[in-house]
Structure formats: structure tokens, C-alpha cells
Amino acid sequence: MPQQTAHVNQPYEIELVGPEHAIRADQVPFQAAFTHESGRSMTVLGFWDGERRYLARIAPPLNGRWTWRTTSDAAELDDQSGEFTAVPAEPDESRAAHGVVRVNSRFHFAHEDGTPFRPVGATVYNWIHQDEPLRTETVASLSEAGLNKLRFMVFPQAGGYVEHVPELMPFEKTADGWDVGRPSIEFFRRLDSLVADLGNHGIEADVLIFDAYDRGVFGLNELTEEQDAAYLRYLVARLGAYPNVWWSLCNEFDQMTDRPAERWTRAGELLAEIDAHDHLRSIHNWIELYDYNQPWVTHASIQNGFATEALGRASLYRDVYGKPVVLDEIKYEGDCPERWGQLSGQELVDRFWITTSSGCYASHGESFVTESGSLHIVEGGRLRGESPVRLGFLREVLEGLNVPGLDPIDKWDDPACVVGTPREQYLVYLGREAPAEWTFRLPQGHSGDRLEVGDDFAVEIIDTWNMTRTPAPETFTLTEVQRNDAYATDNAPLSLPEGEAIALLITRAAA
């Protein structure tokens, strides 16, 4: 008997028996229209899962009764129907019960149920292509560190530092290349389970759909645009119901020099059209920035280490695109000889706080050379660096905010690059070497509430490296409010641990 109860924001699956001869996966075998008792509806693509087994998956976003009905050119799959009741997730599923992450407050993120999501991400390109125990160790280590987003490739990477060639590939191989119409069911079932495992550990799966690093080794970079579309439909049908999925069309897309920008745009538009769950969508650059103003793009996924070296640089991307900005590649902590892989832990943590203080987000990676001769960003396993636990600490700070996100307060002329929400909460990052004291000052915002004389603020001293949070011994009260700045002149300067990496979290006291 098919299951009659589903959990809200969790994958629910219907299973059908198809024709004796399998429908090729480069065709859509059927569609399933799901309708909630309120009238809200979602239509998802069905997919072949081996032999005569066909599935459709949905993550019902609402409690209550849902009905479904299929349409198909195959008589066995057409006009099938059923119903189920969606109920709240069980307590042990609470990590993923908040639902799909989407854009919130223009430059930030929140789950389906409104719970803010503060990405502090990681990158392990070839993670799903490794043997055990590396796959399990990768997830466990990321979870222990407190990182909550993982970027990885569906297609295997080739080239430098890639020491492992996977036996399991995504499609059947023919004399003419890869047959996208015959996906490897074993491969995609493994992908399903790994995405689900990430979700069970509270980690978003940032899926890199196409691969710029084939180097002609596997030939998966030689798919036609029609094959790309068939693969996209199959991938979205399989993974779309997992609430922890993000889509990224490609990592360093501009390394695939034979593909014009228009082809990427058409792929992105198709992705947006077929994903009934409306997951986040982007594409990542090497040298040439993609036009993130394209309507199909939900957020900018950018490689630029230089933008994270000093306050005020990364925030310019917000002005250009008007969307959340995730600096998904800002160089790595590690010991490899490449210039992008030699950061110390202190340098990488500093870049994360700079990015945060620019109203943006960032992703971590490690380029320590492993026993196999590979790198952690390639194969995964246990994290080795000093930065991960400190980035988990940053995430704790972000998740404790009482505002939707951190935005530049006065982006035109504030030398301190203070971020936050005017008259509510602020973050001031003083860098890797704080002064001995800090004189209370806040910039006036260009929007939002204006600061007023008599406003009281509590200050928390955050040591970003030693991971301590110390409340200031007194409340600061504004006594002087000018057009662009406000001061607490009756308060003495705040003493700081000179020379340490310090940020200040400033929160208006309740009236």
C-alpha cells in the first residue's frame, strides 16, 4: 500500500508501474499535479528509477489534504490519482522541517517557514565520487564544525590533484559517448541518499550541475544542449523535493569556452521553469562574471578573493545585482603551492568576517594536500585547518541576530563599514588587530529609523579567533546625534583586548 501520510517540507514519493519497455530518460515519462485543499497546486516531473519503476516526488509545503493526478503519453502512467495528508515533521526531522531556503529581505535568506538561514558554506567538489569512509567522514566533519552549506559536483572532476577515478558514472556509456537517456540508477540513488544525509545533518546541498573540469577525460563536457536539457529535467525530478537543495549551473562556467553565455541563460531559464519547488539558483565564475541580473538567477555566486581582503569591496556587488551575494570562492586555507591555496586559518577567518561586514556571505574550503596527493576541496574527509570551528562560531553569532540580515548602514562614506539594521542592531568589525579602546559611534542610515538622543545600546565584544563573547560592563546612551553619526559622549571609551581579532555586536536596549 502506498503511504497515505507525508511530512510537511519532506520528500513524499508516489510510485507507478510503467510500460514493459522503459521510457528513455531524455523524455518526460509523466507529470504529477499535486493540489492542496486550499487550492495551491504544484506540478512536478516524474522520472524513471529502473526496470518498470517510475516515481514523482514532492515536499508538501502545507499541512492538510493533498490530491494528485498524473498525465502521460504512456497509458500505464496516465490519469493515475491519489491523495495523502501532510502533517508536521517528527522531532528528529526538525533540522530540515523549516523547508526550502529562498531569498528574504532582498539580500538574505530564509526557509519556507520564515526561519532565517545564514549560510556559512564549504566546498568539496568530488565528494560524492569518493569511496567510503571518505563520504561519511566528510559530512560528519562539516557538521561537527558547524558549516551549513556544501558545494559539490554531480559530474566527476578531472585534472590537477584528482587522484581518484570513480567507477560509478551518471550515464551509460556507448560507442558514441554518454547516453543521457539511460542514467545509472545506482549512481542517482546514491546521489539521492547523500543529499538526504546532508539534510539530516542540517547542511544545504549546493549542487554544481555541469562540470568545467572534465578536461576531456570523461567526455561529460561534450553533451549537446539537448542532452543538457534532458539531464536537467532528470536531475530536478529526482532532487527537487529535497528541501536542502540549491542549484548552481556550473563552477567556473567561463572555463567552458565553447559555450556562449546565451546557452547558460537558456539552461538557467529551463531550470527555473521545471523546478516546482523553486530552489535557489545561480552560476559560479572563473574570470568573467555572469550577468546575475538575469531573472532566473536568485543570488550571485561569485569567485573573488580580492573582494574579501578589505572592508567595503564585496558590498559593491550588492549594488550591481540587488540580490544576495555569496562569495563562494575566496581562496582556501591550506598548504598547496597554488596561490589560491595558501591562506592561514587567521587569514580565511578574517575574510569571512570582512565578507559578513560587507552584507554578503562566503564559503570555506581547505587545500591541504592529503595522503592520496589530492586536496580536501577535491576529495573531502576530515577537516584539518584552524578555520572551520571558528566559522562555526561565526554562524552561531549570525544565528543569534534579531534582524533579517546585516546590511551596510552608510555605504557611501562610513570608514568603519558598520552593518546591521538602523536603530536595532549593528556589527562593527575591527579587524585582526583591534585597538586598545573604541569610542562609541554609530552611522545614521539612509533608510529605516533615525537614531535619537537617549537611545540605549548594549555592546558585546566578540573575539573572532579565540571564540569568546563578552558583554560590555555598561550600557551606552546616545547624547549627540548628527546628520551622519551618533555618539555616546558621556560614556568612556570601551576597553578592548588590543591586537586581537575583534568584532562588536551592538544591540538597542528594549525601551
Residues 73 and 89 placed together within one structural domain of the fold: yes
Question: Is residue 186 in some structural domain?
Answer: yes
Residues 481 and 414 placed together within one structural domain of the fold: yes
Question: Is residue 104 in some structural domain?
Answer: no
Residues 268 and 389 placed together within one structural domain of the fold: yes
Question: What's the CATH number where 80 sits?
Answer: 2.60.40.10
3-state secondary structure of 162: coil
Listed residues 400, 426, 453: the one ending a domain: 400
Cβ burial of 400 (10 Å; 0-12, 13-18, 19+) is: exposed
Residues 386 and 460 placed together within one structural domain of the fold: no
Residues 284 and 383 placed together within one structural domain of the fold: yes
Question: Is residue 110 in some structural domain?
Answer: no
Domain that holds residue 306: 117-400
Mean pLDDT rounded to a whole number for the chain? 95
Q: Is the pLDDT of residue 81 over 80?
A: yes
Sign of CA dihedral 37, 40, 44, 49: negative
Listed residues 381, 400, 419: the one ending a domain: 400
Residues 53 and 158 placed together within one structural domain of the fold: no
Among residues 232, 225, 114, 220, which one has the least CA distance to residue 169? 220
Residues 215 and 336 placed together within one structural domain of the fold: yes
Residues 284 and 428 placed together within one structural domain of the fold: no
Residues 83 and 177 placed together within one structural domain of the fold: no
- Residue 3 — pLDDT band, cuts 50, 70, 90? low
Non-local (6+) Cβ contacts of 212 within 8 A are 221, 250, 251, 252, 253, 254, 255, 256, 286
Question: Is residue 449 in some structural domain?
Answer: yes
Residues 64 and 127 placed together within one structural domain of the fold: no
Question: What's the CATH number where 313 sits?
Answer: 3.20.20.80
Question: What's the CATH number where 413 sits?
Answer: 2.60.40.3950
Q: Is the pLDDT of residue 94 over 70?
A: no
Listed residues 400, 426, 456: the one ending a domain: 400
Taking CB atoms within 8 Å and a gap of at least 24, the contacts of 428-431 are 428/357, 428/503, 428/504, 428/506, 429/311, 429/353, 429/354, 429/356, 429/357, 429/464, 429/502, 429/503, 430/496, 430/502, 430/503, 430/504, 431/350, 431/501, 431/502
Question: Is residue 194 in some structural domain?
Answer: yes
Sign of CA dihedral 253, 258, 263, 267: negative
Detail the DSSP E strand segments found in 18-139: 31-36, 41-45, 47-48, 53-58, 64-71, 81-87, 101-104, 108-111, 116-117, 120-123
pLDDT digits (tens, 9 = 90+) for 23-35: 999 999 999 999 9
pLDDT digits (tens, 9 = 90+) for 442-460: 999 888 899 999 999 999 9
Cell triple for 205: 546541498
Residues 358 and 413 placed together within one structural domain of the fold: no
Residues 391 and 414 placed together within one structural domain of the fold: no
Cell triple for 362: 562566503
pLDDT digits (tens, 9 = 90+) for 280-295: 999 999 999 999 999 9
Judge contact between 459 and 494, C-beta under 8 A: yes
Question: Is residue 263 in some structural domain?
Answer: yes
Question: Is residue 112 in some structural domain?
Answer: no
pLDDT digits (tens, 9 = 90+) for 210-250: 999 998 899 999 999 999 999 999 999 999 999 999 999 99
Question: Is residue 381 in some structural domain?
Answer: yes
Non-local (6+) Cβ contacts of 433 within 8 A are 499, 500, 501
- Residue 1 — pLDDT band, cuts 50, 70, 90? very low
Q: Is the pLDDT of residue 91 over 80?
A: no
- Residues above pLDDT 90, as percent of the chain: 94
pLDDT digits (tens, 9 = 90+) for 330-371: 999 999 999 999 999 999 999 999 999 999 999 999 999 999
Give the CA diameter of the chain: 83
* Domain count within the chain: 3
Q: Is the pLDDT of residue 93 over 70?
A: no
